[in-house]
Structure 1
Amino acid sequence: MAITLADAKLNTQDDLDLTVIDEFRKSSWLLDNLVFDDVVSPAGGGATLTYGYTRLITERPAQFRALNTEYPKAQAARKRFTVDLSPLGGAFEVDRVLSNLGAAATNETEFQMNQTIKSARAFFSDQVINGKRVTTPGAEAGFDGLDKALAGSTTEMGAGASLDWTGSAIGSDAGKANDALDILDEFLSLLDGTPSALFGNKKTIARVRSLARRAGYYDRSPNSFGQKVETYNGIALVDLGEKAGSISPVIPVETRDVDGAGAGGNITGLSDLYAVRLGTDGFHGVSTVGGQLVRQWLPDFTTAGAVKTGEVELGPVAVALKATKAAAVLRNIKVQ
């Protein structure tokens, strides 16, 4: 059965749990829309939290056949993958004297809870893009992100060159804008269906927004929380924000040697743009059977002890890319 955080909310009766789920959802388009396949059974007392799946690597082509001849032999290609589910979140400590000082919406417990949720959201987004599975025996955790999964794949575009989409490069030149739009549409056509979203950072999304306006494909509409969601031709434009505890964007803007020519070939201000099609046959989350996606523990000040601990946890979760063509990455876009 596939569920979202909105579905998980329907099965929650505790008001605080509802609030925590909403906090995860309303500040993260990804967590609000990602579908979780809750099929992993924690066998062996939780020792095994592994999800195995087959990824479609290459689709089977089709063609005409002349009479009295056979079709050329060709096969679709699949590859077996596994991913281990891991819980993520954080813990905080609050002194009982500080716990309820001030208004309920701004006291220390509420502040620390909100900051822990914010950090967990940011960390999950970071892992979806940049995650690298830890395989050290006894310390296995995490999952591979899209940056690693798409490297060298048929849906990685622009790895050996750069695209200058800066305002100074395109300016008011309609021809350059149309060229950029052609590349963007070519990139989107790599997927096996209409993508659900484009993931970038503030600068990359700003450049796509500019192109969308020029083409008349830009729109804004409210989500279930009343927040405006921007779209390019119906595809959500999502800024994944900054990494947890950092001001560095999840999808970096950096200097790269694109053509491998050495120091003289370094280009500044380059970033990547990701496209994903969400769904259990595309890109989706994975969770445990019947488990709570989001849990929280408030500090318990009813017992002795001046300093108490609170926690927020998402999972155990992981992500899976069922088909290579359900996600794509456009590399080396110059955005500044």
Structure 2
Amino acid sequence: MATTLAEAKLNAQDDVDVQVIDEFRKSSDILDRMTFDNVVSPTGGDTLTYGYRRLITERGADFRAINAEYTSAEVTSQRYTVDLVPLGGSFKVDRVVARIGPAASGAVTLNMQQLIKASRAKFADAVINGDTAVDANGFNGLSKILTGTATEYLPLTNGVSLGYVDWTTVDTKAEALAEMARLDAWLSLMDDRPDVIYGNRKTLALFKMLAAWADQIDKTTDAFGRPVVAYNGIPLVDLGAKAGSNTDVIGLVSRDADGGGAGGSIANLGDLYAVRYGLDGFHGASVGGGAPLLSTYLPDFTTAGAVKTGEVELGPVAPVLKATKSAAVFRNIKSA
């Protein structure tokens, strides 16, 4: 059975769990949108593995003449597996310190708030930048998954000899329309309309400027009443900073964008990610059997011991890309 954090909230056993789930949802666009396929159970050991087939290429349909057969064609898929992993953290509070200050600023509340903030930021970072070659306890993110696929849009292979597009120099409507045409070409690589486009604040600020110039921008509100800027109805969302730092999840980087040509390394290049959520597209996997999607453990000061531990844990979970064309990345956008 599939579930979302919004549905998990309805099954929460106490007010603390409800509040924690709300904090994860309203501050993480990824977690708010993601559906989790909670079917994994440990068998023959402690490994939690989700196996699936990723659709690589689609197939078409056609008419046939009477007394003639259809021309046979098959889709291309490939088997993948991903290991589910828990994400969260713990903190320790002395029972004396826990009694100091009002509840809104007390040590337990402060530590819970900061742990939730760090956990949702870490999940967003891993969904985009995760690489099991770097962190064996994590999972591969969209940047690694989409590298070399049909939905990785590289300016170099799409008529831009420099290998990057420079949005910082666009100063006419004609130039803006030309860049929007590139964006539409990128989005057309997907199998359907994306639910959201992710980026960093600098790249998205330029995106919004181009879209406004081309009269293709609108504003709406999300489930929590906050304003959302959208391109042709597709929300543009900044994933914010990584856990414990001011570094953007989708940061500006330096790359040799023209593939070893005369251009050298170009600084301040950003990427955009378009994602279509769903069990047939991009979703999460979690443990079945009624296991909670999100767990909280408050320090218990009613028992002996001066220092108590509190924890917040998401999962075990992992992201799943069922169809390659349900996500796409636009590389090398000069944004500063």
Q: Provide TM-score, normalisation by structure 2.
A: 0.92
* Alignment check: 8 A CA contact 1:197 1:236 kept: yes
Equivalent position amino acid for 1:180 in 2: E
1:5-24 paired onto structure 2 within 5 Å: 5-24=5-24
The offset of 1:230, in angstroms, is 2.1
State the partner residue of 1:154.
150
Note the alpha carbon deviations across 1:77-127, whole angstroms, 9 max, x for none.
Answer: 110000010000011111212113222111111011000000000000011
Deviation at 1:74, TM superposition (A): 5.1
SS in 2 for 1:81: strand
In 2, distance between residues paired with 1:67 and 1:153?
39
Aligned to 1:239: 238
Moved more, 251-260 or 16-25: 251-260
Counterpart residue number, 1:145: 141
Listed as ranges, the matches of 1:183-332 within 5 Å are: 183-261=182-260, 265-289=264-288, 290-332=290-332
Q: Tell me the residue number matched to 1:2.
A: 2
SS at match of 2:220: strand
Distance (whole Å) between structure 2 residues aligned to residue 64 and residue 199 of structure 1: 39
Tell me the secondary structure at the aligned position of residue 184 of structure 1. Answer: helix
Contact 1:50 1:84 survives alignment (8 Å): yes
Size of the alignment, in residue pairs? 329
CA contact (8 A) 2:254 2:267 kept: yes
Counterpart in the other structure of 1:33: 33
Q: Which amino acid aligns with 2:3?
A: I
Q: What is the alpha-carbon distance in structure 1 between the residues aligned to residue 137 and residue 332 of structure 2?
A: 30
What runs of 5+ residues in structure 2 fail to find an aligned partner?
157-162
Q: 2 CA distance for matches of 1:155 and 1:276?
A: 11
The Cα offsets for residues 154-199 of structure 1, whole Å up to 9 and x where unpaired, read as 0010163101112xx112x011000011011111111111100001
1:253-293 deviations in Å (ceiling 9; x for gaps): 01111113278511111011000100000000111112211
> 1:226, 1:248 → 2: CA distance?
27
Matching of residue 163 in structure 1 with residue 165 in structure 2: yes
Does the CA contact (< 8 Å) of 1:294 and 1:314 recur in 2?
A: yes
Higher mean C-alpha deviation, range 246-255 or range 112-121 = 246-255
Go from structure 1 to structure 2 and tell me whether the alpha carbon gap of 1:3 and 1:246 turns closer, same or farther (over 3 Å shift).
same
1:221 CA drift (Å):
2.2
Deviates more, 1:308-317 or 1:208-217: 208-217
Q: CA RMSD in A?
A: 2.3
Alpha-carbon distance in 1 for matches of 2:110, 2:155: 43
Ranges in structure 1 where 5+ consecutive residues have no aligned partner? none
Cα deviation for residue 60 of structure 1 reads: 2.5
Residues 92-101 or 176-185, more deviating: 92-101
Give the counterpart letter for 1:189 in structure 2. Answer: S
Residue in 1 aligned with 2:177? 178
1:159–1:183 Cα change, 3 Å:
closer
Q: Please report how far the alpha carbon of residue 42 of structure 1 lies from its aligned counterpart in structure 2 after TM superposition.
A: 2.6
| AA partner of residue 81 (structure 1) | Y
Extract structure 1 runs of 4+ deviating beyond 6 A: 63-73
Q: Does the 8 Å CA contact 1:126/1:250 hold for their aligned counterparts?
A: yes
Q: Which moved more, 1:290-299 or 1:73-82?
A: 73-82
Change (3 A) 1:174 1:77: same
1-side partners of 2:181 and 2:94: how far apart?
58
Q: Please report how far the alpha carbon of residue 69 of structure 1 lies from its aligned counterpart in structure 2 after TM superposition.
A: 9.9
Q: Which residue number corresponds to residue 97 of structure 1?
A: 96
